Structure 1
Amino acid sequence: MSITPSNFDLENAEIAIHGRETKNGVSEVIPLPKVLVSMVATILSEKKTPTNLFKGAYHRGQAGKRLK
């Protein structure tokens, strides 16, 4: 999943997930709990470039290896 800073609308406390990233192929706007908005704002302010926020080996087919 590619979540970048542009997915977040902190003023309205929402995150937009594009259809290509969802299981059913439908774009969604998901409300964020108010308590998370300040935490997300801090994380976004620390990012220097518009990059994926959650990097991991899962995008290379490695997720299952962590569970073994």
Structure 2
Amino acid sequence: MVEFNFYLSHEDTDRLFAIKKLQGRDELTGNDFARLLLEKELYRLFPGCPEFDEAGEVLNKERYRGPNQN
């Protein structure tokens, strides 16, 4: 598992805790709930397991479901 550290604006922190409360996820910390939200979005955008070549290029780009950046 890899650890990520980042900051959220006050508005996004309020959004996070509002969503957490509305979903009844009181058993989770804000950090754990944020992780679940991020994981859900990552799986939505790339449902398959990404594959990379030696140069770090994504081999299975067709699995990506988000907007393309050209």
TM-score bracket for the superposition, by shorter chain length:
0.3 to 0.5
Superposition TM-score, scaled by structure 2 size = 0.38
From the two aligned structures, give the one with the greater helix fraction: 2
Q: For the pair shown, which has the larger CA radius of gyration, 1 or 2?
A: 2
Superposition TM-score, scaled by structure 1 size = 0.38
From the two aligned structures, give the one with the greater strand fraction: 1
